[in-house]
Amino acid sequence: MLDALLPILIFSALALAVIGAVRRIRLWRQGRPSPVPVIQGLAAMPRRYLVDLHHVVARDKVMSNTHVATAGGFVAAAVLMILVHGLGFANPLLGGLLLAASALMFVGSLFVARRRRNPPARLSRGPWMRLPKSLMAFSLSVFLLTLPTVGVLPEGTGSGILALALAAVLVWGLGEMVFGMTWGGPMKHAFAGALHLAFHRRPERFGEGKRSTGLKALDLNDPKAPLGVETPSDFTWNQLLGFDACVQCGRCEAACPAFAAGQPLNPKKLIQDMVVGMAGGSDAHYAGSPYPGKPVGEHAGDPHGPIVAREGTALVDAETLWSCTTCRACVEECPMMIEHVDAIVDMRRFLTLEHGNTPGKGAEVLDNLIATDNPGGFDPGSRLHWAADLNLPLMRDVGQVDVLLWLGDGVFDMRNQRTLRALVKVLRAAEVDFAVLGNEERDSGDVARRLGDEATFQSLARRNIATLSQYRFQHIVTCDPHSFHVLGNEYGALGGVYEVRHHSTYIAELFEAGRLHFAPWKGGTVTYHDPCYLGRYNGEYEAPRNVLRALGIEVAEMARSGFRSRCCGGGGGAPITDIPGKQRIPDMRMNDVKETGAELVAVGCPQCTAMLEGVVDASAEVRDIAELVADALVERPAHSGHDSARDPQPVAEARSVVKEVTP
């Protein structure tokens, strides 16, 4: 009896799955067109899955092994099941392999079940809670049904009530694993995820050490091109596909600083809301942690309706989008390679460019950027006032240098001016041929872009590129990772290609080349805070640590450091939009510092300095790497000096002696 029943069950499940797939693909295709290399993408998919995706999953060893067993077992079991039971290739070898595959899958599902017994808060419940049972139903029933095939049980066992019961369990398993894969349900992640990897919007991010973090430029020349994303169907189709691939593992939620601070953002919920919007409906069925302070079930949307309502509620509230610090912790953690930050900025663009609804001080900052080229509204002619006594060489005068020192908007901030002075001192001690743009420099456009004002970003960027094109330099060095990221990764699309280095990278190079000499470190314990825009955006984790090591400092690492560094709260215009939460992000970060027992936290970003120094009753002092380096500078060993008359210089007199050298 089963010999007749099994092929019918298997092929009807497959047929239903194909219908479901067509429906699902039509949901994705509601999005805007985005050309992808189909064949190339599909060909690259296995590698992206086995290497890139697994690299992220493997950060949790138990879960990664569980997934290998369950998913590997399932794929093998499904293929073999079609051969053995569907097409009737019932030879003992295939049957034996099928037994092994389903047994492996069963072992995996035991681990899935164990994890589901007391799931951490970040995991979604709801249908996900039945997944281990479904996995077991599938693997067990396939295993038992295959036993007669290999002759362990006599052929006749496949009849009677027992066999019918077994077939019923198999129907459950097939329903979840095959039918559910395309009709929605936990297994949807396998189908959507595989295609998402193949047709990812940023194919350049896959591969060893590769990253793609610059935001995509809007086409402002075409008056018909939409300005950002208003409705779910305004996303590109492969963005929608990416949202649909989410496994709701909540790793993003666990990493998100805004969620931890109690601001109304949860990256996982946001992605699920986009899925709700794409299919139409309300978020009532969402079974994970909500946006802090926002109960589930009050928001609904449809593919062609607004995501954010001008008044009242729609799919998502604006403050959810404005809570994001664009720190990319969610993107870094996402095993499905979903691009949360792209989506958030896309939606912000619409709010700013079409609604004119940037919250907090957003409107004022953008007006200042338009009128004065800096967010504070300062006189652009006063950019070099902080350096009135430093006699900095100007690009306008020299025209050609090795290093163009990009100062950033920190020139207007008295705290950051100390960092800049220290950096100038270091560059002069290493006799670097450098110059600054002075009053010709403008804001890089970072804040404008993260606040969604692509028009102001492009205006600033184009004018900066025009200025830079007048001069010749080897590379740009800056102490602002935000400028670093924008100049290095985002100006390229507008025609400005530069080699940009963070000052910590450059100082490390100078030290390697023997051009800097440091006195041994005499201070207390030091920890280092990785700026998001240096670390996750640009992959520079080592250089700052190398510099600290060169200073003789042994870094007491925080629990969250390197690619898991927690944001200071200063990125993405978050201090400007200032969405209230239960606690402040920099306070949490300073607590991380406190846990290491460090007396000093070294930073490499003016935003981080400002945010962390703003923490009341902090246990540690905040110093930029440039300041630590400048303090530790000592005269070079006498034999290496080429100008003995004025070269060996005590630290205290360094500045005045250096000054004489300047033309």
Partner 1 sequence: MRPEVDEVKKPKQSALEVAVLVSVGRHPVTGRARRADQDARGVELALTLDEARVTLLHAGALDEQSEGALRGYLGMGLPALTLIEQPQGADVLDALAGTLGDARPQLVIAGERAEQGEGSGMLPYLLAERLGWPLVGGLAAVEKVEDGVATLLQALPRGQRRRLQVRLPAIVTVDAAASAARQSAFGPARRGAIETEAAAMTWDEAMPEWKVSPARKRPKRLKIVKATSARERFKAAAAKAEGGGGQVLTDATPEQGAEAIFKLLKEEGVLR
What residue ranges bind partner 1 (CB under 8 A)? 223, 227, 352-358, 362-363, 366-367, 370-372, 377-380, 453-455
Q: What are the backbone angles phi and psi of residue 6, rounded to the nearest 5°?
A: -60, -50
Report the nearest approach of partner 1 to the CB of residue 215 (Å): 16
Report the nearest approach of partner 1 to the CB of residue 33 (Å): 21
Report the nearest approach of partner 1 to the CB of residue 572 (Å): 18
CA pair distance 448, 366, nearest whole angstrom: 6
Q: Which is nearer to partner 1, 352 or 596 (CB)?
A: 352
Q: Which is nearer to partner 1, 157 or 372 (CB)?
A: 372
Report the nearest approach of partner 1 to the CB of residue 578 (Å): 16
Q: Which is nearer to partner 1, 99 or 437 (CB)?
A: 437
Q: Which is nearer to partner 1, 428 or 442 (CB)?
A: 442
Q: Which is nearer to partner 1, 335 or 362 (CB)?
A: 362
Report the nearest approach of partner 1 to the CB of residue 221 (Å): 11
CA pair distance 204, 201, nearest whole angstrom: 9
Report, in this order, helix, strand and coil percent for the chain, each rounded to 5.
55, 5, 40
Q: What are the backbone angles phi and psi of residue 400, rounded to the nearest 5°?
A: -145, 130
Structure tokens at 88: 């009737």
Burial of 656 (0-12, 13-18, 19+ CB in 10 A): exposed
Q: Which is nearer to partner 1, 354 or 554 (CB)?
A: 354
Question: Do 622 and 612 touch, CB atoms closer than 8 A?
Answer: yes
Report the nearest approach of partner 1 to the CB of residue 451 (Å): 11
Q: Which is nearer to partner 1, 227 or 429 (CB)?
A: 227
Per DSSP, the residues of 372-406 read HSSTT---GGGTTGGGTTT-PPBHHHH-EEEEEEE
Can you list the alpha helix ranges (DSSP code H) found in 175-217? 180-183, 188-198
Question: Do 606 and 410 touch, CB atoms closer than 8 A?
Answer: yes
Q: Which is nearer to partner 1, 54 or 355 (CB)?
A: 355
Report the nearest approach of partner 1 to the CB of residue 228 (Å): 9
Per DSSP, the residues of 456-515 read HHHHHHHHHHHHHTTSEEEEEEES-HHHHHIIIIISGGGT----EEEHHHHHHHHHHTT-
Q: Which is nearer to partner 1, 220 or 300 (CB)?
A: 220
Of 142, 237, 165, 148, nearest to 199 by C-alpha is: 237
Report the nearest approach of partner 1 to the CB of residue 363 (Å): 4
Report the nearest approach of partner 1 to the CB of residue 406 (Å): 21
Burial string for 324-346 (b: 16+ CB within 10 Å, else e) reads bbbbbbbbbbbbbbbbbbbbbbb
